[in-house]
Each structure stands twice: as structure tokens, then as C-alpha cells.
Structure 1
Amino acid sequence: MKRLKQLMIILLLVLLATPLAIFGLSVSYLSKINSSNIDTGSLEKHSYAHKDGIKNILILGSDARPGENASRTDSMMILTIDNVNDSLKITSLARDAFVNIPGYGYSKLTHAYAYGKEKLLIDTIESNFEIDLDDVVLINFQSFISIIDAIGGVTVNVTEDEMTEMNKFIPETYKWSENPDKGEMTLITRVGSQKLNGYQALSFARIRKNDSAFGRDNRQRMIVSNLLKEIKNTSKLKYPFLIKAAAPYISTNMSTTKMIKYSIDVLRIGTGSIKQMEFPIVSSEKYSTGGIYGSYGWVLRFEPESIKILKSFIFNDVQFDESKN
């Protein structure tokens, strides 16, 4: 999942950093990103911690299948564009964080999206973590089928057992692919290193019955790691076409003008060193406790004191140092 989050981050930074590089095409494709039909009132008012010159963008990775209108969020992160301290920061929010969801009571953070989509999730994050969010981006993981196809495929090593299992998924993922040039469905017919297209790669990532969840994680890391290399080695002239491929699967409340404004900030600050934090803080029992809690199942309960550390990271650019806490 860590690698999947990295790909989400890189995808968003590609979206933000490209408009100035190849302005015309990029702006045209950015304008095709879906406008999220959410109540932006909760984003526009400042009820919690905020600071001029610092913008917090909520990035959501949806695990929705094609045809589903609502689902839990598979990944939640806050991208902080900090023009005060000239830094970019990513805060990963645990799906199992135990929070008070307005109108629903205590539950896992991931449930807030299923109950009330973006607006309720925004309200839940702001009220529990005491920080203001400025904008939101929803990325459906189906977009990565299109990204893989746009980049020309991804190379992985396929074993015989994996070939058998992934061929069971291909008929379904083939239907999910909206690539007009996908041609006839193609099963995998040999083992070894080979380049997979989008729907084949997704089938490879879904395998788990022939070994374990650990094996599945390894396959997902392999795909994402190799895809990151492909993107890194791709000419920036191709970035607008990556945006074109991903745009139908991305929703945001941001206008094209605002995305261009953020792109200027990202390019000025640079993406070479992105500071990261996970919340709740799981490296110390002083700040969080994980385990079965009544009827809620496995949750992460965090101490109120840890919110100060989160806000210090986002607004004061102070990274958490376990040895000093």
C-alpha cells in the first residue's frame, strides 16, 4: 500500500507540475477533470487550525469498482503546499483511525466516506484532527489502468502459478478497461519477464489465492515500483497525455485556475524532497493504541496530545522525532 500511495502522490504532482511545462495541452486536459459535486462550504470556512501561505489538499484514493457510486476510501492523504517554509509534505491518514463521525458516532475513519462521501469525510477529518482543509482530489484506482496503457505498459516477472491465476481475472478487468485501443482480450501465455497492459497488470495485482496477502502486496509493489521508473524516464512532453488518460477518473473541487496556481507553487518549491508523516503515530504506544475495541473491530485509537505533533508538522514544518518524544 505504501507504493500505491507513492504512485498517487506522483500522479497528483504530475497533474500539478505539468501545466507550466507544456501549457496549452495540459490546461486543455486539466479542464476535463471532473468537478466534484460537494458542498465546498466546509472547505471555505476556517473553523480549525490554518495559516496563510499554507494549503492542505485532501487526496482520496477510491476503491470503488466500476458502476459503484459510493465506497470506502482505500487511501487518504493530506498534501501540504507550504509556501511559508518552502516545503511539500504528505500526511497519510490511517483508514482504521478511531474517530467521531458527525451524525454517526464513533467508527473507523474510512467509514465516513461511505456514509456521506467527501463532505462528511472532510468534516470528520477537520473536527477530529483540528486542521482546516482547503481542497479535495478523488482519484479512482481504475485510473491506473489508463496510466499504464498511456505509458506503454509495465514490465513484471510472471511465474506459472501467477499466470494461471491472473488469467482468471483478465475477463473481468478487460471489461473495466475503457481504452478504445485495447483490442481483443489477451490472456497471458508464457512465464517470465514481460510487459503487461493496463487490464493485465490489474489482474496481476489482484492475485492472492495461490500464496498469501503478503505475496499480493509484493506483486503490487512490483507493479508500482516499475511503473514509477517508467514515469520517471518518460519525457515531460508525454505528461499531458498521461493527464488526458487519468482525467476522467479524477474529481476535484478545484478550478483549472487554482490547479495552475498550485502548479506554480509546486514547481517553485520542487519535488526533490517530500516530507512525510503517518497519523495516528503508530511508532509509539504513547500516542496511539491499536487493537480490537468492542464491536468496532480493529481500530487505532490516538491520544489527543498527538494532534499537536500533527499540527506542528503541517504548519510549523517540524518533523516528528521519536527519540525526542
Structure 2
Amino acid sequence: MNILNDTEQLPVIPVDSTDLYNVELEYLEDELSNSLSEQVNEVLNKTDDNISPKVNNKMRILLITAVGLIAVLACLILLIVTESGRKVFYKAASNYIYDSVNKESNSMQESTENQNQTTDGEDTIENGIDNDNTDYKYRHESYVNNYLVIGIEEFGNAKNTDTMILVSINTKDRTIKLTSFLRDIYIESLGKKKLNAFYSEGGPEYLVNILESTFKIHIDGYASVNFESFEYIIDRLGGITIELGKEEAEYLNKKNYISNPIYRNVVPGINQLNGNQALGYCRIRKVKTLGGANDDYGRTLRQRRVLNAVFEKYKSQSIFKLLPIMKECLGYVNTNLEKGQIEKILETVIENKITTMNNFRIPVDGLFEAPKKYNGVKYPLVLDLEKNIMELYKFIYLDTDYEAEEALKKYNN
């Protein structure tokens, strides 16, 4: 019998999502506790009265231990297969990561929060561009989060950004996208300098601000690591698998890019590189990569290949093996990410089953010039900036040509 007719509706009672989450967890805990209690009582009540008290007690202990193990397994299953359980895992894991890394102040997040409070909003652009994200100063979409990874080369008191890779997590096509920004990119609007000069002048947040304002994209946070720490992280992970071309292998074995001579023994083809070898591989500029890229373009391609290899290595490890490794490695990483951001990254990647990485580079082939000298700067990369931004939008946000052009118009205003 249908209690409601076609026009009747049950009243909608607003419930906070946090309350629903807590209620569901309490329900699962109660159900599990009641079920286990019933099983224990049932088994213990069936114990044979004719068995001696000593044997009887041993049986009871064994039975209770077995049921306890079942309880642990049941809890693990709940954590894995239920949404509430997985949320508990994400929160615990994010706390673990946050407590392990070297934390830096997040004035970027405070700036975004203040901006969200003071911006009165603009009309959204058609075709799904930036819909309901008008509070951000630069391009931001709900299905993409951008994080800058910075590799720092330290010689004496000098600190230069040898590596600048934007990591974009896209839930629309379920990929992680790596975009290398070449260090010789010419930035005319801020003192006519190369991109790698800004970190040493103002630190990581200054570099992030330069990238945001130049390429009209919102960056949610950053993580940085220096070369020495990079070696340790690769070693602690057990090395990474990289395929080398003949020229690369020969070059690494006779030059000092691999700083420890005893490790200059790589071969053409598949290699298991340790930290010292992987760092040397990332720094090569003078010979072509496997596939033909040369100079700084080949170097940044190698860096992205190393990140891919690290990602694949982590995917192949069990969580129980990874936890102690992560604890040690994360101590070498500096970041301004908050606990909630780390939790969101974990949840986004796992819930969306993101296991694919795509690679990109700025500047794009054919959209820049490389003069020997430009406005007093030696060997800069002078970009056709608008066209490079549009290609970046197409890669990160999956724009069509029209959507990228319309978005750029908005953020250039």
C-alpha cells in the first residue's frame, strides 16, 4: 500500500553532514560490539561442563583471543569497505603525515580566505569554465587542485630552484598531471629575471605568487626538498626503476653527475637507480634523453620520469611497509599544507582511483624564443605568454581552445 499520494512529500529535516558521519560511525561500532558479544556468549555457553576447569579456562582464553582477532579484522574491513571507515583512515593518515613533515606558515591560505570574504563575485563564464569559483583571484576549478613541488639546489649560501613541477590532481579525468616550468623562463614584469631567481629572493611563497600571477592559475600549496634529502628519500624507498638510453648511461658513467664514483656503473636499458644515481640522472642536460629531448627540456623530462617512478614504487608497496618509510622521508620535506589539505589529497586520489600520471612542459614547443641575450639577461626563454597559458589550461583543466581563450580573457582583466 502506498502511504503517500503523488503530491505528498515527507518533510525534509536539515542534518549536518558531520552529525550523519558520527551517527554512522556509532552505529557501526554498536553493531560490531553487539555481534561480537553475542558470539562470545554463545561459544562460552556451549563449553562442555564435563571438561576440567583448567582445560575449560584455556579454551575460554583461546576462544576470546580468536574472537578478538576477528574483531580486529572486522574493524579493518569496516575501515576499507565503508565510506565512514575510509574517512577515519584518511583523517588518521593525514594527521600522521602532518606530524612528520617540516611545517611552514601558510599565509597563502590565509590570503585566499580573506579574498573569499572580501570579493563580491562576478558572472560565471559559460561552458563550465570557473562556474561558482569566482572568489579566486586566478583560475581555479572544483575538480582540480594544484600543488607546487620545488627541488632546491644548495651550493654554499646560494639556493636555486633546480626543479619546479606543478602537480595537478584532476578528478574529471582521474589523473595526476605534472607540469615542469623551465628555470630559464623570462619574467619581464618583475625585474626582467629568470624564473629560478625568485626563490632565493623571497622563498617558496614568493615563487608561488610569481607563478600564479604570471600563468593565471591558483596554487593550493607547495612542498620543497633539497638534493641531499632527495637522495635519502629514493634510497629509503629502495631505489627506482628507470630506463636509460646509451648516451645517458655512457655520460653518467664518465661525468660527475653521479657524485659517488662507485655508483657510476649504470647500463643502457632498465636500471634500478639508488638515490645518488637518480639525482645524477635528474641533473643531466648535455645529452639527449631516451626519446630525443635535449638541454633543459630533457632534464625536466627526466625529473618527471623520476616522479612517475616514485609514484609507481609507492603504488606497489603495502601500507604497512610504507608507513615507517613515510615517517622517515617526510621529515625531509618542507610544506605549508594543512592537515585538512593533506586529508583531501588522500581522499581525492583514493576515492577516485587515480593511478595515472600525464606529463607537460612550459614553455610549449613553438611558443617561445631562446635568444642568447634579451634585455641584459643571458640565454632566457622568452614566451608567447598568452598561448602558453592557454595550452596550460587545456592540459590541466581539459579545456577546448574556446574555453581556454575565454578563461584567459577573464583572468587577464
TM-score with structure 1 length normalisation? Answer: 0.66
Distance 2:279 2:391 in 1: 40
Aligned AA (1:312): K
Q: Per the alignment, do residues 312 and 33 of structure 1 end up closer, same or farther by CA in structure 2, a change over 3 Å counting?
A: same
Distance 1:273 1:319 in 2: 21
Q: Which structure features the higher share of helix residues?
A: 2
Distance 2:218 2:180 in 1: 16
Q: Per the alignment, do residues 288 and 162 of structure 1 end up closer, same or farther by CA in structure 2, a change over 3 Å counting?
A: closer
Structure 1 residues 1-325: aligned runs within 5 Å: 27-37=95-105, 39-40=107-108, 41-42=110-111, 44=113, 45=115, 46-64=136-154, 68=157, 71-100=159-188, 102=190, 105-152=191-238, 169-170=259-260, 188=262, 198=275, 201=277, 213-214=286-287, 228=310, 233-282=316-365, 284=366, 287-292=367-372, 293-306=374-387, 307-315=389-397, 317-318=398-399
Kept after mapping to 2: 8 A contact 1:22/1:240: no
Q: Post-superposition shift, 1:82? A: 2.4
Q: Post-superposition shift, 1:294? A: 4.0
Number of the residue aligned with 1:178: none
Aligned AA (2:369): T
Deviation readout 1:63-88 (Å, 9 max, x if unpaired): 225x75x6121111211222345443
Distance 1:131 1:190 in 2: 41
Runs of 5+ consecutive residues of structure 2 not aligned to the other structure = 1-85, 116-135, 402-413
Distance 1:189 1:145 in 2: 13
Distance 2:107 2:346 in 1: 24
Deviation readout 1:31-67 (Å, 9 max, x if unpaired): 22011235324555422222234221112111225x7
Distance 2:359 2:89 in 1: 26
Q: Which structure features the higher share of strand residues?
A: 1
Q: Per the alignment, do residues 290 and 38 of structure 1 end up closer, same or farther by CA in structure 2, a change over 3 Å counting?
A: farther
Q: Per the alignment, do residues 58 and 169 of structure 1 end up closer, same or farther by CA in structure 2, a change over 3 Å counting?
A: closer
Higher relative contact order (CA 8 A, sep 6+): 1
Runs of 5+ consecutive residues of structure 1 not aligned to the other structure = 1-17, 171-186, 321-325
Q: Per the alignment, do residues 42 and 297 of structure 1 end up closer, same or farther by CA in structure 2, a change over 3 Å counting?
A: farther
SS of aligned partner of 1:47: coil
Deviation readout 1:106-127 (Å, 9 max, x if unpaired): 2111111111111221221111
Q: Percent identity?
A: 25
Distance 2:179 2:279 in 1: 29
Deviation readout 1:162-187 (Å, 9 max, x if unpaired): 88977x955xxxxxxxxxxxxxxxx8
Q: Per the alignment, do residues 191 and 250 of structure 1 end up closer, same or farther by CA in structure 2, a change over 3 Å counting?
A: closer
Kept after mapping to 1: 8 A contact 2:94/2:339: no
Distance 1:78 1:161 in 2: 29
Q: Per the alignment, do residues 142 and 270 of structure 1 end up closer, same or farther by CA in structure 2, a change over 3 Å counting?
A: farther
Kept after mapping to 2: 8 A contact 1:63/1:140: yes
CA RMSD of aligned residues (A): 4.3
Number of the residue aligned with 1:14: none
Q: Post-superposition shift, 1:296? A: 0.6
Kept after mapping to 2: 8 A contact 1:99/1:106: yes
